[in-house]
Structure 1
Amino acid sequence: MDLAALTIFRAVVRENGVTRAAAKLNRVQSNVTMRVKQLEQQLGAELFVREGRRLVLTPAGRTLLPYAERLLALADEARHALREDRPRGRLALGAMESTAATRLPRVLAAYHQRWPEVELELATGTTGCLIERVREFEIDAALVATPPDSSVLTDEFESVAVFAEELVMVTPRGHRAIGAANDIALSTLIAFERGCAYRSYVERWYAEHGLRPARTLELGSYHAIIACVAAGAGVAVAPRSVLDLHPASAQDVAIHPLGRLGAVPTLLIWRRGHGSAALDALREALATEGRNATAPDASVRNVTGAEPRDAPVIPG
């Protein structure tokens, strides 16, 4: 069992088939198929079965995958260690959609210009999903919101705060000022799927007031969320930076500061002991961007002109 075979096996899984894996690896399909069969012979177990046109992992394949991820990650780390700490190779980064849209474009552009030998891959997801992907070695690091339950980030992770986000409540225009959950006139919360840390914060906030949304409408993008709020479908919580990015859309809604509740640091997390020169360079770039970013002002008046009351603190 060699690293090249494991790389091919992982590519077939990630690309959902031999054809796309071969294109990704710049190999012919027959070579990819042959290497997978050779790996199966070495291990004495089938790794894939065919269902129609799809290749599906067998139980043996599912068992092998996390080991392959770890072995390939260790090999990358060894290569980095032997190359005078110059950033190069593959760096798989995860980020929340809001962070990818508002914070990363300038950082990644500068990073790519400075370290062209790094093959940077970016995937988006909720905080819960990204933490799990780092745990399973599917990605090298991730930008996540500080989870409400701090025990989620166990000793297997290292982390550093890189951005300070201000969460705000977003309502249809004309909504009264919001200082507590019982000030909200609409019963529907519009949010990302479970695993979104921002959603967890606002659900805890409702619960501390003995309330909960009558309905939760799950959507997959802030653009859709803000549009539904503007149409009167419900209320949402979003980072102010997202609304600053789309000022035209923000004109159709009311924005309500949430006081201390709204201060949620964004963390860069990675597996303890699995750093690299490429990751260190990214940390430096994020720290520079974080220092240059303007700190949110939680005392800003909301759009109704009323001074917001202090919201309860949600532990995190």
Structure 2
Amino acid sequence: MNSQFLESLLAVSQNGSIAEAARVQGLTPAAISQRLKSLEILLGMPLTIRAGKTIRLTEAALRILPHAKQVIKEHRNLVDALNQDRISGRIACGAISTAMTGLIPKALKSLNDTGHELEIKLHPGTSAQLYNRLVADELDAVIITKPPFHIPKNIKISEIHQENLCLIAADGYLRIPSKNNKNLTDNILSNALHQQLQQHPFIRYDQNSWGGGYVKSYLDDHKLRVQELYELDALEAIAVLVNSGLGLALVPDWPAPWAEGLILDKIVIPNPNYMRQVVLLRKRETGKETAIDFIWQHLIKSNVTK
């Protein structure tokens, strides 16, 4: 059975129409229809039902769909294993937003310059969302905040870098001693800076997010009661709100670039207890280890040379 025909069946299932499946696969609608017809002849049963401009799978097609996904996966693993010398294959990689803008662009440029034939499809999301997709075998690798729980043995974790917490405020908003010192110690911050945190409106990094947990720990450990104005799980949006003079925020000091046009005072808190660890996770024994390790090496290289 041709795995490409199964890929077209899967594309139709995911996209709801032959036209959209054709666009995603880079084929003509006629080619998709022919592949589906060939599968139906081979299996001896109808696989799709038309409903106006949309198309849905029959019960028989839905029953074989999980098996089709497994066949497609094993076929890709086989091809990847045969081509490890030149590092080729498809990698579905999830990444949090700050990695998308700060880490990944330089790494992809570096990968492209090697001449290898890696096809990397990026999927955005939160750390929790991407981790769940990795566990469900929807993604091959994810670049996320290190999970705040024990990682199963079948998942390999590789650290990319660590990010100190930093306090950010609109330019001129802060009134603290030695404001221009970008590496104040935690002892110094515990007085003037903590007072500022409690006196001004606070824009909170979602405490239920994995990264926001570090901010919550810092505030709880130092017994700081803040005047919470907003809470959201979008670091770039937090920085924009702070830049507007709405309040202060504690966020991870993620790699540049930050949003264009921001003029922020930033004070780094160099305390290892509150560092956000950005890691790459992948499942073991998938046949894609060499390719994913290759990507990880370029992420490290790009972070060092930023």
TM bracket, shorter-chain basis: 0.7 to 0.9
Contact 2:198 2:225 in 1 (8 A): no
Equivalent residue for 1:100?
Answer: 100
| Whole-angstrom distance in 2 between the partners of 1:188 and 1:58 | 53
Report whether the alignment pairs 1:264 with 2:276.
yes
| Whole-angstrom distance in 2 between the partners of 1:48 and 1:181 | 63
Letter in 2 for 1:150: F
Whichever of the two has the greater Rg, that structure is 2
| Whole-angstrom distance in 1 between the partners of 2:207 and 2:40 | 37
Report whether the alignment pairs 1:218 with 2:232.
yes
Contact 1:230 1:253 in 2 (8 A): no
TM alignment of 1:139-154, pairs within 5 A: 139-147=139-147, 149-151=148-150, 153-154=151-152
| Whole-angstrom distance in 2 between the partners of 1:267 and 1:108 | 17
The CA deviation at 1:158 is 0.9
Give CA-to-partner distance per residue, 1:142-200, whole Å, 9 cap, x none.
111112x222x322311111222223232344335654877333454344696x42123
Equivalent residue for 2:185?
Answer: none
RMSD: 3.8
Equivalent residue for 2:181?
Answer: none
Contact 2:199 2:226 in 1 (8 A): no
Cα distance change of structure 1 residues 19 and 259 upon mapping to structure 2, 3 Å threshold = same
Contact 1:169 1:258 in 2 (8 A): no
The CA deviation at 1:127 is 0.9
Unaligned runs of 5+ in 2: 177-188
Unaligned runs of 5+ in 1: 294-316
Aligned-pair identity (%): 20
| Whole-angstrom distance in 1 between the partners of 2:305 and 2:214 | 27
| Whole-angstrom distance in 1 between the partners of 2:99 and 2:75 | 29
Q: Secondary structure at the match of 2:285?
A: coil
Instruction: After superposing the two structures, state which structure 1 stretch, 257-266 or 61-70, moved more.
Output: 61-70
Cα distance change of structure 1 residues 49 and 84 upon mapping to structure 2, 3 Å threshold = same
The CA deviation at 1:129 is 1.3
Letter in 2 for 1:157: I
TM-score, normalisation: structure 1: 0.73
TM-score, normalisation: structure 2: 0.75
Instruction: After superposing the two structures, state which structure 1 stretch, 99-108 or 260-269, moved more.
Output: 260-269
Give CA-to-partner distance per residue, 1:234-283, whole Å, 9 cap, x none.
443433244x4248645234445262344222211111211423223212
Contact 1:95 1:125 in 2 (8 A): yes
Cα distance change of structure 1 residues 268 and 62 upon mapping to structure 2, 3 Å threshold = farther
Letter in 2 for 1:100: M
Equivalent residue for 2:180?
Answer: none
Cα distance change of structure 1 residues 82 and 99 upon mapping to structure 2, 3 Å threshold = same
Contact 2:81 2:287 in 1 (8 A): no
Equivalent residue for 1:288?
Answer: 301
Equivalent residue for 2:12?
Answer: 12
Equivalent residue for 2:183?
Answer: none
Contact 1:145 1:266 in 2 (8 A): yes
Cα distance change of structure 1 residues 170 and 76 upon mapping to structure 2, 3 Å threshold = same
Cα distance change of structure 1 residues 56 and 214 upon mapping to structure 2, 3 Å threshold = farther
Letter in 2 for 1:257: I
| Matched positions, count | 287
| Whole-angstrom distance in 1 between the partners of 2:155 and 2:226 | 32
| Whole-angstrom distance in 2 between the partners of 1:31 and 1:171 | 56
Instruction: After superposing the two structures, state which structure 1 stretch, 231-240 or 90-99, moved more.
Output: 231-240
Cα distance change of structure 1 residues 126 and 247 upon mapping to structure 2, 3 Å threshold = closer
Q: Secondary structure at the match of 1:245?
A: coil
TM alignment of 1:44-55, pairs within 5 A: none
Equivalent residue for 1:155?
Answer: 153
Instruction: After superposing the two structures, state which structure 1 stretch, 1-10 or 260-269, moved more.
Output: 1-10
| Whole-angstrom distance in 2 between the partners of 1:292 and 1:7 | 39
Instruction: After superposing the two structures, state which structure 1 stretch, 89-98 or 60-69, moved more.
Output: 60-69
